[in-house]
Amino acid sequence: MGSGGTGLLGTEWPLPLLLLFIMGGEALDSPPQILVHPQDQLLQGSGPAKMRCRSSGQPPPTIRWLLNGQPLSMATPDLHYLLPDGTLLLHRPSVQGRPQDDQNILSAILGVYTCEASNRLGTAVSRGARLSVAVLQEDFQIQPRDTVAVVGESLVLECGPPWGYPKPSVSWWKDGKPLVLQPGRRTVSGDSLMVSRAEKNDSGTYMCMATNNAGQRESRAARVSIQESQDHKEHLELLAVRIQLENVTLLNPEPVKGPKPGPSVWLSWKVRQRSQKTPRAQIRAAMSSLVHYRCSDFFPGERPCCTC
């Protein structure tokens, strides 16, 4: 006989069904096997996390769960609850107290879970699956600060988000709306906002927002002011000043006694600088009763001039 046999009415039966028929309809015993392994879960919000485990075997295996290698007690259904199909429900405990109390209670359910499927022929153990909890603390490690910059300059707004798990992502907002980044000019490095070649429209109110599965946190609002460059802030480079005068004699026929100053002469010249605007400077020269300017001929062939 080959892979089957001839049954009633000459029908060909597959060998497994033929053996099952001969043994009175009873399936063969088999050791347990894990068909569906549990996966890592994140405990967040008020809903439970689910650890699934599926197995095969004959007789049908019994499912048992372990936490960090130790059998899991089902005496606290508000934390652990086992469904008939072997799925484990994990609830986040409600805590009213200090943050460290929350951490202590969470430690009773966080860790690596494995399921065991057992019958009289043996035991099969699943792969481990980690249960974590989503956390996002309140306080920012670094808050953005108010900043004043000049058009064309670069500025940096720093942000250090609160500690959290999973690690929170950081986004920047301006005037209550998500900030549109511009490659090469408005970028995020680490968690800090970097603006190169500042423009007037970069002025506004900025804040950074930290987000993960536990929620989101907003930093303080930082005011950024971008101002036009001012002449007095620019570096003036005095290249040369020349005063050209004819021979001048200023005569005061009636000298004045006492503290009253004598006649005055006002001289003005231009200062060459890098900006397009050229300010004028004036020097006041107090004269005595007789003042006589005589300029030497420093440049032969040209009109006399005095050089400062």
Residue 13's pLDDT is 53
Residue 2's pLDDT is 46
Q: How many domains in the chain?
A: 3
The ranges of the chain with pLDDT < 70 are 1-27, 94-105, 231-308
Residue 105's pLDDT is 67
Residue 134's pLDDT is 85
Q: Which of 212, 229, 246 is the last residue of a domain?
A: 229
Residue 288's pLDDT is 37
With 0-12 CB in 10 A as exposed, 13-18 as middle and 19+ as buried, what is 123?
Answer: middle
Q: Which of 111, 133, 155 is the last residue of a domain?
A: 133
- Quick check: is 6 in a domain? no
Q: Which of 87, 106, 133 is the last residue of a domain?
A: 133
Question: Closest by alpha carbon to 172, among 135, 218, 214?
Answer: 218
Cis, bond preceding 60 (omega within 30 deg of 0): no
Q: Give the structural domain span for 189.
A: 147-229
Task: Give yes or no: residues 121 and 43 share one domain.
Answer: yes
Residue 231's pLDDT is 52
pTM over 0.75: no
Task: Give yes or no: residues 39 and 121 share one domain.
Answer: yes
Residue 12's pLDDT is 62
Q: For the domain that residue 216 is a member of, what is the CATH number?
A: 2.60.40.10
Question: Closest by alpha carbon to 265, among 279, 280, 283, 247?
Answer: 283
Task: Give yes or no: residues 246 and 285 share one domain.
Answer: yes
pLDDT digits (tens, 9 = 90+) for 225-241: 999 887 544 444 444 44
Please count the CA atoms within 13 angstroms of the CA of 303 that sit on its side-chain side: 6
Task: Give yes or no: residues 39 and 125 share one domain.
Answer: yes
